[in-house]
A and B are shown apart, each in its own frame.
Chain A
């Protein structure tokens, strides 16, 4: 496998934020059918080793392209843009206010599963809109700076979503 190929090239897809999920999955299965270690279980050691490396690479590429957030970060990296996920933590004040609002509501409803599920669904509706904005920034406007900012905002949403899920899990047990 050409290791210089990027994930999009490997999957034969255009390097865009908008992906055809069905095509991505079909291609993933096609690639794994060729390289998966199960096809080489009775083969020589060298072949088994290479197969594991290639299958690992295909899995990594698939997971990256499947997740919208990871895909966006990856596209920015391909364009030579550092989205500054670790370094740039300065967010606009109104965004931070909004986040605090969400957190307060999660805190207030943290004992009731129904309230948490409602909050989570609301959060997801909200982040869907943000993803649409990201799509415009990456695929239409070519606004990498704006996209980086949006990605950082979406990280907050993802974190909050995860926290709600964890709370829900705790309440169930």
Chain B
């Protein structure tokens, strides 16, 4: 690794080393990884030149996971062990999954998230997604010639907390440093906005394989501000395939299908749908394993008629987003189309009719999200000088609330609040001497708890015993820039910090992640030590890069001795990077961490002062 350049005060900084960062579009149907090379966002291809990696994972008896095209090819032959569209199961229980009757999997309905029994053992959707991410990570590491500093992973804007957390867990499980979860329409807006130097209010209409998002953004002078977002987390291209599949079953008067035949017909249906995008008619003809033959003619018009209700379903959330943004249709300057499903002509027609203008389709709807994510990853990794970058202001898609008496929801943070956002809420005891209480956090727009999504149940313990109604427990809800919620609580009259036992209704505990990591090593026969070493090396490089930037920008905040001491620690860390014991690197990283703490505080203060003084960064 090249030595990092640290400039002396007063000297012009050397162009710093480019940090390897990627954007990943973890899609329902296909996934992509992209990076910025020489200032241009590019999708990274596999050896055969394919950019798209089918989001399909097949589990083998020996514990191995086969990902992508190779797995897809076996989908109809080995449906039980070949997981497709796993994104639909992320952060979801069995009862939340649509069309579950046509899923060939052996579901295990565990509390919180559904799991699948495969030849390689029981897998959670997080693990399956992690296998897709691992394949993309390997592709990126090979193409970029080294470990990644970090990745931006995109999620549907309308994903709730459970689905976001599951996605971030999958990233961790795949060994990625997740720099940010980025909303897919926002990623697309970045790619489109930067490409076209767009200014004004834009709608991003994103119909993917399994999810629908609509976001309204204001683009102005380097600021991307999400005004409102809405969507349907269970509506996408898959539903069009499914509708066609049902039609085939009715028309051909088929007997109940085996899992293999179901997959076969679903694949045929998808192929027919795609063919009808550019053709007036097609033929579905195949021989089923049951001996039955299917031979049907289908016109584009018939297909559009049978799926028109699905297209119409996207317009409700679109109206809602406009209303939340306080806008009329006529105020929208352009509509950016994202997602493979927007290729269908009747989708484009419906959007054009609704907005009264032809939508923009000059970007590849399947790649634009990954490209935008890569562009943002480049900025987050610190590859751009400040002043050269842009500001992204995103929102939470769904309101957060708590359960009150009678199963009603009290809204704490309303939907479309710009993140990060925090709200404090006071609660009190209703019995004399009460020392514990439970708080139920939900997400959604409905008034009844039972109609919202349960996020977590918190037990507050250690409340000082007082008369009923005297204790004042202040619960703070903090949503970070990834759209993820954290809760903390404090008894206000005595200042006693109430202990919180978090019982997530979904998601994984740290122990579960550790266990899964261990298991994945066992299966992949990957060397645990090698893995730990690699992780620490990346962490070390990340530390060095962060310290380098800090020294470059703010070295005057340190005395000569402090700077020398910090440099010595950095040098020590740099030397350990080539060693083979991850513990040595880790302790060097920790030393640097300690050595930079005061510096970090001073830099933050300077940032604030600069902001308060209203000075431009470039002038410093």
Contact = CB atoms under 8 A, between A and B. Distances in A.
Interface in B566-620: 593, 596-597, 600-601, 603-604, 607-608, 610-612, 614, 617
B357 interface: no
A35 B478 contact: no
A59 B323 contact: no
Contacts of B421: 56, 59-60
A103 B265 CA distance: 55
B545 A42 contact: yes
A33 B379 CA distance: 13
B345 interface: no
A89 to B, nearest CB: 19
A173 B420 CA distance: 31
Contacts of A42: 19, 149-150, 179, 380-382, 542, 545-546, 549
B418 interface: yes
B391 interface: yes
B180 interface: yes
Nearest to A58: B611
A62 B612 CA distance: 14
A88 interface: no
Contacts of B617: 33-34
B316 A44 contact: no
A31 B612 CA distance: 7
A45 B179 CA distance: 12
Interface in A24-76: 27, 29-39, 41-47, 50-52, 54-56, 59-60, 62-63
B517 interface: no
B223 A29 contact: yes
A172 B417 CA distance: 24
A16 B496 CA distance: 38
Interface in A6-32: 10, 12, 27, 29-32
A168 interface: yes
Contacts of B604: 47, 50-51, 54
A38 B418 CA distance: 14
A45 B418 CA distance: 22
- Interface of A, secondary structure class, is helix
A1 interface: yes
Contacts of A41: 150, 179-180, 380-382
Interface residues of A, number: 37
B480 interface: yes
A44 B593 contact: yes
A37 B393 CA distance: 10
A31 B418 contact: no
B489 to A, nearest CB: 17
Contacts of A43: 546, 550, 600
Interface in B366-393: 376, 379-382, 386, 391-393
A31 B610 CA distance: 9
A169 interface: yes
A163 B309 CA distance: 28
Interface residues of B, number: 48
A31 B319 CA distance: 32
B216 to A, nearest CB: 16
A38 B180 contact: yes
Given A42-B542, A50-B604, A37 B420 contact: yes
A82 interface: no
A136 interface: no
A34 B608 contact: yes
B611 A31 contact: yes
Nearest to A168: B323
Interface in B428-478: 478
B36 to A, nearest CB: 15
Interface in B528-548: 542-543, 545-546
B350 interface: no
B422 interface: yes
Contacts of B223: 29
Contacts of B381: 41-42
Most buried by A among B391, B421, B617: B391
A37 B149 CA distance: 17
Interface in B394-440: 417-422
A45 B608 CA distance: 18
A13 to B, nearest CB: 12
A35 B610 CA distance: 10
Given A29-B223, A44-B600, A47-B604, A34 B610 contact: yes
A22 B381 CA distance: 31
A52 B419 CA distance: 9
Nearest to A12: B614
Contacts of B419: 59
B391 A46 contact: no
Contacts of B607: 34-35
Contacts of A173: 316
Nearest to A33: B391
B393 A32 contact: yes
Nearest to B422: A56
5 tightest CB-CB pairs across the interface, nearest first? A34-B611, A41-B380, A37-B481, A56-B420, A1-B608
Interface of A: 1, 10, 12, 27, 29-39, 41-47, 50-52, 54-56, 59-60, 62-63, 165, 168-169, 172-173
Given A35-B608, A41-B382, 11 more contacts: A34-B611, A35-B611, A38-B380, A41-B381, A42-B380, A42-B546, A42-B549, A45-B593, A46-B601, A55-B420, A169-B319
Interface of B: 19, 149-150, 179-180, 223, 316, 319-320, 323, 376, 379-382, 386, 391-393, 417-422, 478, 480-481, 542-543, 545-546, 549-550, 593, 596-597, 600-601, 603-604, 607-608, 610-612, 614, 617
25 contacts: A1-B608, A29-B223, A32-B393, A33-B391, A34-B607, A35-B611, A36-B392, A37-B420, A38-B376, A42-B149, A42-B179, A42-B381, A42-B546, A44-B593, A44-B597, A45-B593, A47-B600, A47-B604, A52-B420, A55-B420, A56-B422, A56-B478, A59-B420, A60-B422, A165-B323
